[in-house]
Amino acid sequence: MGIVEHRVVDILHIRQLGLLEYVSAWKQMQVFTQNRLLNTPDEVWLVQHPPVFTLGRNGKLEHVLAPGDIPVIPIDRGGQVTYHGPGQLVAYMLLDIRRKALGVRELVTGIEQSVIDLLAHYSIVALGDRDAPGVYVDGRKIAALGLRVSKGRTYHGLSLNVAMDLEPFLRINPCGYAGLQVTQCQDLGIEQAPFELARELCECLTHRLGYAALKWL
């Protein structure tokens, strides 16, 4: 049987960047998006961040209740305030959705469904929420989603709580919702570390977003 060849634009490239300061990752995403060409492959960057609160373009400081020694960084994605920290898998989506003929709502749904598919592998029932993007298990948020779209290209993306200290979420109204509870994979019986789950998540993303294959860089 011959080897199937795919066009570069049909392959989703995956980069594992390890533990990275938030602002550094943010600036690198902006540079990548500004400099990409018509045939630049789409990429997903997998990272973890030191503790940080990020406040989206529409975010209100009143939802940051008691940040303590954790920095609060206003950024250019949509949405309100969320928390990133070690033990959380962050997947940044550097995609040309105009080239893929993907609408923003279709993209958000595809990303959410990828997490739902991942959790279903472990017999966990999860749901998305059209009015409050993200993924929920029994009403508790396990994954947050926030994107920036510039000229049909996206950056920022998805954070999945895997095995982390959830206490900082008590210092904010997560995603602008007072009293919203969060959960994580570890508390649901999933023992895999963030970057062990990353491979499964990227396979789910490849399928749900319509790529023919993925390539680990």
80 is in an annotated binding site: yes
- The answer to whether 85 and 52 are in contact (CB under 8 A) is yes
Query: Which residue of the set 175, 185, 202, 204 is catalytic?
Result: 175
159 is in an annotated binding site: yes
- Integer-rounded Cα radius of gyration of the chain: 17
77 is in an annotated binding site: yes
Strands in 52-55's sheet, in edge-to-edge order, are: 72-74, 52-55, 81-84
144 is in an annotated binding site: yes
83 is in an annotated binding site: yes
Residue of 110, 74, 68, 69 whose CA lies nearest to 91: 110
Q: Is 175 a catalytic residue?
A: yes
183 is in an annotated binding site: no
Beta-carbon contacts of residue 94 (< 8 Å; ≥ 6 apart): 29, 32, 33, 36, 42, 43, 44, 45, 153, 154, 155
7 is in an annotated binding site: no
Annotated binding site: 77-84, 144-146, 157-159
Annotated binding site for substrate: 77-84, 144-146, 157-159
Catalytically active residues are 175
